Amino acid sequence: MDWTAIAVSTTTDGIEPVTGALLMCGVNGVEIEDKEDFKEFLAGNVARWDYVDEPLMARAEAPTRVKFYLPKNAQGQEMLSLIRGALEKMKERDGADSFGPLTLSFDSIREEDWENGWKQYFKAFAVGERLWITPSWEKEAAPAGRSVLTIDPGSSFGTGQHHTTKLCLAALERAVAPGCRMLDLGCGSGILSAAALILGAKEAVGVDIDENAVRVARENVAENGFSDPVFTAFAGDITTDGRLRDRLKAHPFQVVAANIVSDVLIALAPYFGEFLAQDGILLVSGIIEERADEVLDALKARGFWEIRRDLSGGWAAATLKR
């Protein structure tokens, strides 16, 4: 498998939170280049500066970076989208700019080339018992008994190949009943909303803090034959936007799905119940297996009880009721 080195530009103070964010997104190994550490090394070796060559000296002024590697395939693209979202949330919370620019750089390859190159690995595939996920550029016919879901993720998370999305799609297949209403929190590419409608939901609503994700979600769901009023999408943060929360809870949903990272699920725990109809089902995914109990404990403290937990590739998803 081919890999690409990607680096996050940050500061010494940002190394630990950036590394933590990458870990939550499934990156298990990083390389740290800290210019402050290198300056300390030079300060302790003044007598030997004659033996330090110019490229090495240049490291003293190079930005602090946390480097990691992603596979050049569709799953790598999924992880990149997840990482971008995590870094954007970090930047929003970093009012003092303590963590630096939090920008991404790609070693030895242009970012746009890598992001388009992964498409050669994105082939049609089956999920669960009823869905056939395919990009628009693939023409392979779906097997008998499966419904086609066409998805082009753009820069938003959700081709269906990541473990977290597969887990959530399989859970949706079990949860969606004909005629139900479904809420997709952190809708990304819109894949969960499209799947719910294909599986028989009468209406789906997507929410994401990223306006670009909302645009991509609308395009993808429309590609599958659903548009306003069957599918609507809003850009906003339900933890701070009371008007958006009021709009969502005015007509409760039979299914609420959130395929987001663990910390965001914990932050959303107080709000899920506001949107659920009586006897509604909550689906959560995007959870690193080691943090599953932490996330589920936060939900249980809000009156939810766990019906089912599924694991795949080090990730966890759960189905809950109140």
Kindly report, residue by residue over 206-263, the tens digit of the pLDDT: 999 888 889 989 999 999 999 999 999 999 999 999 999 999 999 999 999 999 888 8
Query: Of 44 and 24, which is predicted with more confidence?
Result: 24
pLDDT of 68 > 80? The answer is yes
pLDDT value at residue 196: 97
Q: 88 and 146 share a domain? A: no
Task: Report residue 274's pLDDT band, with 50, 70 and 90 as the boundaries.
Answer: very high
Instruction: Indicate if the alpha-carbon torsion angle 270, 276, 279, 284 is positive or negative.
Output: negative
- Domain endpoint, select from 92, 118, 144: 118
Task: Report residue 38's pLDDT band, with 50, 70 and 90 as the boundaries.
Answer: very low
Single pTM value for the model: 0.70
**Beta carbons within 10 angstroms of residue 205's beta carbon:** 22
The percent of the chain in helix, strand and coil, each rounded to the nearest 5, is 40, 25, 35
- Lowest model confidence (mean pLDDT) among 65-74, 86-95, 195-204: 65-74
Query: Of 107 and 276, which is predicted with more confidence?
Result: 276
Q: 145 and 92 share a domain? A: no
Residue 96's CATH number: 3.30.70.2170
Domain count, the chain: 2
Q: 255 and 220 share a domain? A: yes
Q: 167 and 152 share a domain? A: yes
pLDDT of 33 > 60? The answer is yes
Q: 59 and 199 share a domain? A: no
Q: 205 and 109 share a domain? A: no
Q: 87 and 182 share a domain? A: no
Q: 81 and 33 share a domain? A: yes
Look-up of token digits 């970012």: 111
Q: 20 and 138 share a domain? A: no
Range of the domain at 97: 3-118
- Domain endpoint, select from 101, 118, 135: 118
Q: 81 and 23 share a domain? A: yes
Q: 39 and 183 share a domain? A: no
pLDDT value at residue 73: 73
Query: Of 295 and 118, which is predicted with more confidence?
Result: 295
Instruction: Please give the average per-residue pLDDT across 10-19, as a whole number.
Output: 90
Query: Which class for 120: exposed (0-12), middle (13-18), buried (19 or more C-beta within 10 A)?
Result: exposed
pLDDT value at residue 248: 96
Residue 193's CATH number: 3.40.50.150
- Domain endpoint, select from 118, 148, 165: 118
